[in-house]
Structures are given as structure tokens and as C-alpha cells.
Amino acid sequence: MNIEVYGAEVLCPSCVNMPSSKETQEWLSAALLRKYPDQAIEVSYIDIYNPDLEGAKKDMAEKVRNDEYFYPLVVINGNVVGEGSPRLKTICEELEKLGFVKGA
């Protein structure tokens, strides 16, 4: 399972006191590794200003750049599960709908 965190190095204007997108990717990766050990979960950071993006990633990055979504934006299987200030509980609920089991 690959979870994508879309964002940029520059904090969004309304996110001044919040973690950066890269920091969000790092804490989310660590938290999910603890909650779902030995399960194949990878959390990828995607820079919305990367000119080499293609396909669905390029489309989603464009939506973030066009202010359709706030970043950091967390996406699982093409579904947005968190934006701006993503919540671990919501992300875990989505993973469990997909068959992931805590502590397995």
C-alpha cells in the first residue's frame, strides 16, 4: 500500500504553526509503522511543483496548486483522506476498511 502526501517545501499561508508536508510524511510513516508493523505500507512525499510528475499524480498536484485542496494532502488509492491538518485516526480508519489490522 502506498500512501501519498502531496505538498511543497513552502508552508501554505494558513499553515504557519503546523508541520510542513515533508514533516507530515515523516510522522505519518513512523506512526503507521508502529500501528501496522510487518504490513506493507509506504508513505511517499510528492512535491506539487515537481515538473516530472505524470498521470494521476500530476493531476492531483495541479488540483492542490489550484487551491482545490489544502496541503499537506494525504491520498490512499486515489481517495483524499486528509488535507491541511490530516488526522491519524481518519487515515487509520481508511486503512482498516482496506483490510489492514493494527498490531498484526
Q: What is the pTM of this model?
A: 0.91
pLDDT of residue 83: 92
Q: How far apart are CA 86 and CA 104, in angstroms?
A: 24
18-51 pLDDT, tens per residue?
788 999 999 999 999 999 998 999 999 999 999 9
Could you please report the per-residue DSSP string of the chain?
-EEEEEE-SSPPGGGTTS--HHHHHHHHHHHHHHHSTTS--EEEEEETT-TT--HHHHHHHHHHHTTSS-SSEEEETTEEEEESS--HHHHHHHHHHTT--TT-
pLDDT in tens, 42-85: 999 999 999 999 999 999 999 999 999 999 999 999 999 999 88
Under 8 Å between Cβ of 75 and 4? yes
Domains of the chain with bracketed CATH: 2-97 (3.40.30.30)
The yes-or-no verdict on residue 14 having pLDDT over 80 is no
- A 10 A CB-CB count for 84 gives 14
